[in-house]
Structure 1
Amino acid sequence: MSPAAEVKGNGVAATSSMDVVIVGAGFGGLYQLHYLRKMGYKCKVVDNAGELGGQDWTWSERFPSWPELRRYFQYVDEKLDLSKDVQLNTGVKSAEFDVNSSQYPQEGIELEGKKVAVIGTGASGVQTIQEIGPQVGHLTVLQRTPNLCLPMNQHKLDPEVEARVKKEGGYEKVFDYRRNTFGGFHFDFLEKNGDEDTDEQKKELYEKLWDGGGFRFWLATYKDLLFDKKVNDTAYNFWAEKTRARIKDPKKKDVLAPLLDKQPHTFGTKRPSLEQRYYEVYNQDNVDVVALKATPIETFTEKGIKLKDGRDLEFDVIILATGFDSVTGGLVQIDIKGTDGVSLADKWSKGTWTYLGMTTANFPNMYFLYGPQGPTAFANGPTIVELQGDWIIDAIDYCEKNNKKTMDATAQSEAGWTKHVAELCDITLFPGTDSWYMGANVPGKPRESLNYAGGVPRYVRETKEVAEKGYAGFNFDAPYDTGKLGEKVNALKLN
């Protein structure tokens, strides 16, 4: 694939020519960088961040904290010598197919003794609330929809045990196994439906999954839990019973963990957040919760927030944990132009179109990881970016070996894949819930399935079949209106 990408500097670096430009220095971007460099390609990673995500690495906790993940990225950087091909503090403003040729202080802010409001109880809200609750003078949580949180069951790892597991090949076994599970984790759905067990057997299973912690209660349960509402209701009842027992105030119980007759949504059809002490925070005398559907916000004031019931709430700090444009947002926020001159944002304004969840028609030689219509939010991120990364690496290698300069999905293939993704989702319980899984969290965004609901093994099989058939569904070296001969494929303007 001889066409190169042209990277235009931000006023500091001069224009340079690359075989591959990778946007994002997370797990997926660094995985691509490492393997594409090994294949001999000249690559450059660009990222808005100021740093990447010495000794042999050993994890200290079951669920690594943010500081430990940063140290891990630094370890990987040193091990693989990645930084020399990474340009940090650099964002992509636009990208165009050329046929011719806000940051926040990481050290935190002082909240001790202050009156604080948190708006939103998604993943960011849950993490924030359980951390700052014991510190602030008074905390008011403004909640639109209860988060059906699951216990993280965090604990420290024994370095000696971890060293033995690593030595005996335990890590390799886990890495191999997760590629064969629905969600790309080291556990999987049971090979039976919920109605095959008695109520007592269901409760025994739920207790076991609950004690196991993490996403087991969501993704290691009955295989029809996300398809059969009656089975799903048994899981919700168990969740509500367990959660309500941790909340002392009767009114807060009903706001944070309603009973089934006032269920906010079907269990598991919104991403359940993992928590460590989230519900206990609400037992503090200095913590209140406002149900926004019953009492909406009218406006922000000079001193705080005014509610529609007339109350004026005064705060020193207001934290907005209101979410973001997930799955597609990171792509459409860049002004990416296709061969027909249409931007990606315009193309997807009425609905998302991809082929295999990694490409989209009229944007040749552009691939995306962990994006729309892949397993993405229904699966473990590192697993998905590795599987998709391997597929993309193989596709680039195929083009190079067969002297193909451009690879572009056809309109027919992306239409077929988009229909396939919708059909997989439609037989589940997901469409019945307004969530970011369905694009329903952003006003004006098309409501559609943004994730592939067929599971990791099926996704791997289907994408592999495309490759084995000579990358069926793609056009190679399509006759674009080139005007003059040239080799540059993508021009990226950097901030």
Structure 2
Amino acid sequence: MQQVNSSHAKAPRRLDTLIIGAGFGGMYALHRTRNMGLDTHLIEAGDDVGGTWYWNRYPGARCDVMCIDYSYSFSDDIQQEWAWSEQFAAQPEILAYARFVADKLDLKRDISFNTRATSVRYDDERTLWRVQTDCGDVFEAKYCLMATGPLSVPKQLDLPGTSTFKGAIYLSGKWPHHDVDLKGKRVAVIGTGSSGIQIVPVVAEQAEHLYVYQRTPSFTLPMRNRKLEEDYVAHIKAHYPGLRKAARHSMTGGIRPITHRPLFSVTPAEREKLMEEAWQRGGSHFLGLFSDLLTNSEANEVVAEFVRGKIAEVVNDPDTARRLTPRGYPIFARRPCLDTGYYETYNRENVTLKDCLEHPIIEITENGIRTADGVVEVDVIIAAIGYDALTGAMLSIDIEGKEGRSLKDKWADGGRSHVGLMIEGFPNLFLISGPNGPSALANFILLAEQNVDWICDCIRHLDANGLRSIEADAGAENWWMNKVTTLGSMTLYPTANTWYTGANVPGKPRTFPVYVGGLGRYREICDDAAAQGYSGFTLK
């Protein structure tokens, strides 16, 4: 049988560059490498471009970064031609934008859709990567670019009895591509992170009754989304060069208001006034209000208590308000959420909050959900339970570097890389928005652009100098990981149980694989390494 199968195996397709993933990072990588004259191709598990915005089609899905930031900056033609309709764009508009870019750049002719990489292995003798797919295709490429995304592997609902449920179960991160009619249905939403907070207000308007199963209450701020007026859009387009330059060198890769003012530098009355004004203007203003909220626990608690007070003001039932009020972790140490009417939703008669800290879910039954206080019968379960973030997508593929070294072994204690771009022992394997860069704390699109530009400049340097490979030095990787850990430990981020730290996935190593020094400083570090002949990397 092996002889028969091998005789029908597809011949490998030889490339200069193979890209895995057609999100915004992969799309830009395809555009850049193709324009360099490289023989390049991209494979994508879905049947269209868009990455997370292709898969996440749940009710209420919306970006929590302003769209004037969360968009490509490399092409002024694209910036001028595309016009956003809202300050915070909804999923259908973001997916339409991705499709618009793909069509304008004619990207799809070099993409294999419905194709998932199953193994990525380095051939030491031939100095190339051999990539096998679930379609039976085999690619061989000198360079492999992993644009797999930091939030692309949703957790599965693994509660006892899940398989016995007779109704419909939907994952927020793998939402069906057909309309889901929830009108008149009894619906349960499990999870109240970013996705759950967006889902709840929308589903509450459709369902006969909505039950929200909450384990850890989240801090969420009002988004105050608005339509963009034509004159404002024209104003932004006229000033994009300066705005983009400022964003690239900012902490977050965006142009939302941010300050260097510590909380205790202003009087209690003044900071109360500042918080109230920012709350009314919207969450993006509130996030940048004080400079020390993630380094000073006392300052953090002042802001947390202000938000707790807002919950008590909005939610009519005191017991429900109490259960919705987060305690025991710093505000913003979990990803800050921006919502539209989330707390107000609990004033509806058809919405019930189920506190899973007090009454944990025991099992899924044929007709509903059993907790310690009984069974609730439902027709639909929506699982908004998060992702195996930052490292999950890479580890879902069988990746082997030099001498058969397994990435799973390399990352057994957490994701490791040098400046989030390359891994020691894995030559010519580049990461886009990978772990140990600014990742979750930055605007992903501008970060992806920076990563891709650095990678393409690196490839051009290798080819121009007749070099076969580049990989991270072991010493440099250790230095960078120590820097990431040291800087992270100076903040409150590692103190919370979040997907940032891997605490949401049982058995996952507890780390904080995110560089907190900001996108602007990160750019400088990467540029300095390149200017010094790619110091921190081994070139052969």
TM-score by length of 1: 0.89
- SS for the counterpart of 1:298 is strand
Unaligned ranges ≥5, structure 2: 1-7, 51-77, 127-170
Equivalent in the alignment of 1:22:
19
- What is the distance in 2 between the residues matched to 1:247 and 1:306? 26
- What is the distance in 1 between the residues matched to 2:452 and 2:359? 46
Greater Cα offset, 397-406 or 198-207: 198-207
Task: Report the alpha carbon displacement of residue 192 of structure 1 after superposing the two structures with TM.
Answer: 2.3
Q: Contact 1:150 / 1:214 at 8 angstroms: preserved in 2?
A: yes
Q: Contact 1:143 / 1:292 at 8 angstroms: preserved in 2?
A: yes
- What is the distance in 1 between the residues matched to 2:286 and 2:277? 9
Task: Report the alpha carbon displacement of residue 13 of structure 1 after superposing the two structures with TM.
Answer: 7.6
Give CA-to-partner distance per residue, 1:241-272, whole Å, 9 cap, x none: 223221111111011125xxxx1410000001
Give CA-to-partner distance per residue, 1:266-296, whole Å, 9 cap, x none: 0000001111111121111111111111111
Equivalent in the alignment of 2:99:
74
Give the alignment of 1:261-272 within 5 angstroms: 263-272=327-336
Query: Percent same amino acid among aligned pairs?
Result: 37
- SS for the counterpart of 1:93 is strand
- SS for the counterpart of 1:215 is helix
Equivalent in the alignment of 1:205:
274
Unaligned ranges ≥5, structure 1: 1-10, 478-495
Q: Contact 1:181 / 1:188 at 8 angstroms: preserved in 2?
A: no
Equivalent in the alignment of 1:351:
414
- SS for the counterpart of 1:293 is coil
Greater Cα offset, 53-62 or 390-399: 53-62
Equivalent in the alignment of 1:193:
262
1:232 and 2:295 aligned: no
- SS for the counterpart of 1:408 is strand
Counterpart among 287, 307, 317 of residue 351 in structure 2 = 287
Q: Contact 2:257 / 2:284 at 8 angstroms: preserved in 1?
A: no
- What is the distance in 2 between the residues matched to 1:340 and 1:277? 54
Q: Contact 1:146 / 1:264 at 8 angstroms: preserved in 2?
A: no
Change over 3 Å in CA distance of 1:367–1:212 after alignment to 2: farther
- What is the distance in 2 between the residues matched to 1:300 and 1:74? 39
Equivalent in the alignment of 2:124:
99
- What is the distance in 2 between the residues matched to 1:70 and 1:12? 35
The code of the aligned residue for 1:330 comes to: A
1:331 and 2:394 aligned: yes
1:449 and 2:512 aligned: yes
- What is the distance in 1 between the residues matched to 2:252 and 2:119? 33
Greater Cα offset, 104-113 or 466-475: 104-113
- What is the distance in 2 between the residues matched to 1:369 and 1:115? 41
- What is the distance in 2 between the residues matched to 1:212 and 1:397? 46
Q: Contact 2:295 / 2:492 at 8 angstroms: preserved in 1?
A: yes
- What is the distance in 2 between the residues matched to 1:291 and 1:328? 30
1:464 and 2:532 aligned: no
TM-score by length of 2: 0.82
Equivalent in the alignment of 1:247:
315
- What is the distance in 2 between the residues matched to 1:207 and 1:12? 65
1:127 and 2:152 aligned: no
- What is the distance in 1 between the residues matched to 2:218 and 2:277? 22
Task: Report the alpha carbon displacement of residue 164 of structure 1 after superposing the two structures with TM.
Answer: 4.0
Equivalent in the alignment of 2:228:
157
- SS for the counterpart of 2:403 is coil
Give the alignment of 1:398-437 within 5 angstroms: 398-437=461-500
Task: Report the alpha carbon displacement of residue 340 of structure 1 after superposing the two structures with TM.
Answer: 2.6
Task: Report the alpha carbon displacement of residue 12 of structure 1 after superposing the two structures with TM.
Answer: 11
- What is the distance in 1 between the residues matched to 2:200 and 2:371? 21
Task: Report the alpha carbon displacement of residue 14 of structure 1 after superposing the two structures with TM.
Answer: 5.8
The code of the aligned residue for 2:122 comes to: F
Change over 3 Å in CA distance of 1:96–1:154 after alignment to 2: same
- SS for the counterpart of 2:232 is helix
Counterpart among 162, 185, 188 of residue 114 in structure 1 = 185
Runs of 4+ in 1 over 3 A off after TM superposition: 11-15, 100-104
The code of the aligned residue for 2:44 comes to: D
Give CA-to-partner distance per residue, 1:416-446, whole Å, 9 cap, x none: 1111100000011112111111111111111
- Higher RCO (CA-CA < 8 Å; seq separation 6+): 1
